[in-house]
Amino acid sequence: MTQAVTCPGCNQQIAIDDSPQQMELERLKQEMNRPRTHEEISRTIPKGVNFGSCPDGNCEKKIENPNKTTKFYDCPHCDANTVPSKYSNFCPTCGKNLKDEDLNESSVDISNDKGWW
């Protein structure tokens, strides 16, 4: 992108081009601000979160994570029964470390569920 600036030495208007870094930054800003499709959003939902919604909150459609967690584990520190992985480093509910804990399977198991949602 070319922009006009005033030369500090002669006070005349001159045209300069943005640096490649500035042009890339502008391209990335435009990419970040464009609306995302439900498919794009579904690929960004983190493991352990099976459903999400549009960031602006105007869409009422549930967006499903294509890599749904179906088996969960109990946290030994709180009543949470939806720790997403036996190898989780911390409980997403209480935040306590689970790194060296032996987690028990939770009663929450949607692996055979045919879609109650």
- For the stretch 15-25, pLDDT in tens is 777 777 888 88
Count of the separate structural domains present in the chain: 3
Q: pTM for this one?
A: 0.57
**113 and 80 within one domain:** yes
Domain span holding position 73:
69-117
Helix and strand numbers (H, E) in the chain are 2, 6
List 4's β-bridge partners, or say none.
Answer: 15
Count CB atoms within 10 A of the CB of residue 98: 20
Q: Are residues 4 and 28 in the same domain?
A: yes
Residue in the structure block whose two tokens are 């070319």: 2
Residue 102 CA to residue 92 CA, distance in Å, equals 16
Q: What's the pLDDT tens digit per position in 34-90?
A: 888 889 889 888 888 899 888 877 788 899 999 888 889 999 999 899 888 888 889
CA–CA separation, 26 vs 45, rounded Å? 26
